Amino acid sequence: MPSFTDGYWWSGDGLRLHYRDYPGRADRPPLLCIPGLTRNARDYEKLAERLAGDWRVIAVELRGRGESGYAKDPMTYVPLTYLQDLEALVAELKLDRFVAVGTSLGGILTMLMASTHPERIAGAVLNDVGPEIDPAGLTRIRGYVGKANWHPTWMHAARALAEANGDVYPHWEITHWLDMAKRTHRLTSAGRIVLDYDMKIAEPFRLPGNEAGPDMWRAFDGLADKPLLIVRGGTSDILPAAVAERMHREVEGSELVTVPDTGHTPTLDEPEAAAAIDRLLMRIT
């Protein structure tokens, strides 16, 4: 029997979207986990399996990722539409309060949700993202997102990931890369292993201005009185150390944890990150 159930909801423009629902205690707010630009619900497998039972974990898949529908109009692959999709899910599940866990793009959406309805946020984890983004990291992401390729075996996919991302996780073994390959790729009916997202998500992302700007500090203010954990990869090229430290200063009682020898993004199952998440959840009432 699976440790989660598959859930579906509909977007305002008629897309069928998918989430994984891991059961947990009904007297606690659930964790709403939002993945990064090219990722899906499988990114949160280990976190969910560790916490499920004590905490309900809802791991969403944004439009164009995983089992969620692909948009007819690629210009809907933008934060405002993702936000509207998430609002539809929150309404569908009648979530009065939740702990938002956002990685990269998911963290930007967490800040936007906090800015519009701060009363719903019981706590938050921002994983390697903040109100300001390092331009070098954006340039790197624009360089690879939306480039289709395929592999004949999972080992080929794993080795390609290791070659492209070895500097992000310099201490990983091939087993780690295999795990990542299975989280980020899917097997097609033709027997090819391909990235598990719509390549068209890159179209609006490559346009100038479609990124977090200075006004995201105003959105970040929605987390000002919340239990907050900021996780930063020690070698991140997305979240500068100075920005992370400013975030930490501006939210009294927040915790900033740096995962050493790790780039963008930490997986959240590193010992430092896992322990910090446990500390955050102890503060949730």
Q: Which domain holds residue 50?
A: 5-146+200-282
Report the CATH number that the domain containing residue 275 is assigned in CATH: 3.40.50.1820
261 and 122 together in one domain? yes
43 and 181 together in one domain? no
73 and 87 together in one domain? yes
Separation of alpha carbons 240 and 129, rounded Å: 9
State the helix-helix crossing angle for 79-93 and 105-116, rounded to 10 degrees: 60
210 and 180 together in one domain? no
- Contact (CB, 8 A) for 207 and 78: no
User: What local confidence, expressed as pLDDT, does residue 63 receive?
Assistant: 98
64 C-beta neighbours (distance < 10 Å), count: 22
Collect all residues with Cβ–Cβ distance below 8 Å to 95 and sequence separation of at least 6. Answer: 29, 30, 32, 120
- Contact (CB, 8 A) for 32 and 58: yes
User: What local confidence, expressed as pLDDT, does residue 205 receive?
Assistant: 75
113 and 237 together in one domain? yes
User: What local confidence, expressed as pLDDT, does residue 207 receive?
Assistant: 72
User: What local confidence, expressed as pLDDT, does residue 75 receive?
Assistant: 95
- Where among 162, 196, 230 does a domain terminate? 196
User: What local confidence, expressed as pLDDT, does residue 170 receive?
Assistant: 96
Cis peptide before 81 (omega within 30 of 0): no
Please state the φ and ψ torsions of residue 149, each to the nearest 5 degrees: -155, 170
Global pTM value: 0.96
125 and 232 together in one domain? yes
131 and 18 together in one domain? yes
pLDDT tens for each residue of the chain, 285 residues long: 458 999 999 999 999 999 999 999 999 999 999 999 999 999 999 999 999 999 999 999 999 999 999 999 999 999 999 999 999 999 999 999 999 999 999 999 999 999 999 999 999 999 999 999 999 998 898 888 999 899 999 999 999 999 999 999 999 999 999 999 999 999 999 999 999 999 999 998 777 655 444 479 999 999 999 999 999 999 999 999 999 999 999 999 999 999 999 999 999 999 999 999 999 999 998
User: Which residues share a beta bridge with 31?
Assistant: 57, 99
24 and 72 together in one domain? yes
User: What local confidence, expressed as pLDDT, does residue 209 receive?
Assistant: 56
53: DSSP letter:
T
Q: 108: exposed, middle or buried (C-beta count within 10 Å: 0-12, 13-18, 19+)?
A: buried
176 and 205 together in one domain? no
User: What local confidence, expressed as pLDDT, does residue 1 receive?
Assistant: 44
The domain total for the chain is: 2
Tokens of 8: 């579906």
Separation of alpha carbons 145 and 188, rounded Å: 20
189 and 131 together in one domain? no
Tokens of 92: 């569908």
168 and 258 together in one domain? no
85 and 209 together in one domain? yes
